[in-house]
Chains A and B, each alone.
Chain A
Amino acid sequence: KQEVTQIPAALSVPEGENLVLNCSFTDSAIYNLQWFRQDPGKGLTSLLLIQSSQREQTSGRLNASLDKSSGRSTLYIAASQPGDSATYLCAVTNTGKLIFGQGTTLQVKP
């Protein structure tokens, strides 16, 4: 059974820092991996999608990498801003559904 784990559960950094969020999964037979952002009481916004054949994807200050063989992904956020404060979720697809991690709650202090 696929399990997705995210470390750390919470992170607090000063504005301007570069940071890395980690995601691991137990079954490497995935179609893709997505990183989502969740603001309190809001829905999920897809940030990046990495197909299983890809190693990384970039969007603006965000870069996500995927190492399928080791069951790991990282989300790198460059030059963090207070507006980046949110919960970040990773999710893998290996059948017809997304399986989510528990998320990392990020606080960026001005």
Chain B
Amino acid sequence: EPEVTQTPSHQVTQMGQEVILRCVPISNHLYFYWYRQILGQKVEFLVSFYNNEISEKSEIFDDQFSVERPDGSNFTLKIRSTKLEDSAMYFCASSFQGIANEKLFFGSGTQLSVL
């Protein structure tokens, strides 16, 4: 069965450094998402992306965050200057149709630790 792939599985960085989290969505999917889960808290939405532009973003997704689909297969989340509170599990997800019509397929996540 096709799956969403995320790399790396773990990322440790120093506060203030830039990180790029990478995702390869399912190949024929058109909608892409980033969610995160801080330890012990709910999974929360960051951003959705369709047709090469952001379709919706949360309050968390401030100017420190950006997303890109640099080629036909990858989808990246960049955090420009990491803070301690950015430590979380980051999940990429994709779907063929929009979220109102079908289930999302999630990757296994990247655990980001900011020291």
Contact = CB atoms under 8 A, between A and B. Distances in A.
B106 to A, nearest CB: 4
A27 B66 CA distance: 30
Contacts of B44: 100
Given A32-B100, A49-B102, A102-B41, 6 more contacts: A31-B100, A34-B104, A43-B108, A45-B106, A96-B55, A102-B42
Nearest to A101: B42
A43 B109 contact: yes
B98 A96 contact: yes
Contact of B103 (A34, A96, A100): A34
B56 A98 contact: no
Contact of B100 (A4, A41, A44, A93): A93
The majority secondary structure among interface residues of chain A is strand
Given A43-B107, A43-B108, A46-B105, A97 B43 contact: no
B58 interface: yes
8 contacts: A4-B42, A32-B101, A36-B106, A42-B108, A46-B106, A89-B43, A96-B56, A96-B99
Interface residues of A, number: 24
Given A31-B99, A32-B100, A44-B43, A98 B35 contact: yes
